[in-house]
Amino acid sequence: MNAPLGYALLRDRRVSLRAKFVALGAGLAVMGVIQLLQIPFESILAFVLPGVGAAGDVAVDGAEAVIVPVLVATLLMPYLAPKSIVQELRAEHATRV
C-alpha cells in the first residue's frame, strides 16, 4: 500500500480515465457504506488523535466526503493502472528516496 505512488498514478495522464473512475467510484462506495452505517468520522479521528478531537471536528466536518474517496482511490490505483506505468513510477520514486 503505497499512497504516494497511487496519488502519482491518479495524476498521471497515461493512466486511463476508466481506471481512475473505477478507483474513485470504489472510494465513493466506501464513503456511502460509512454514511449508511453512520460511523462518525470525527469520532474515529478523536479516538486516534485525542488532542485533535474538537479542532478536528470543526476542521474536518464534511471534508470526509472528499478525503475518503480520494484516499481509497490512491490505495487502489497501483492495482488498476497498467503494470508498465506502475513499475516506471515505482522506479522513479525509489530513486528520489
pLDDT tens track for 86-97? 999 999 888 876
Number of neighbours of residue 73 by Cβ within 10 angstroms: 25
What is the total count of domains within the chain?
1
Tens digit of each residue's pLDDT (9 = 90 or more) over 52-65: 555 655 566 677 77
Measured between alpha carbons, how far is residue 59 from residues 36, 41, 48, 56, 62 in Å? 22, 12, 16, 5, 9
Query: Taking the chain, what is the end-to-end CA distance rounded to the nearest angstrom?
Result: 17
Residue-number span of the structural domain to which 27 is assigned: 3-96
Model-level pTM?
A: 0.74
Mean predicted confidence (pLDDT) in 23-37: 88
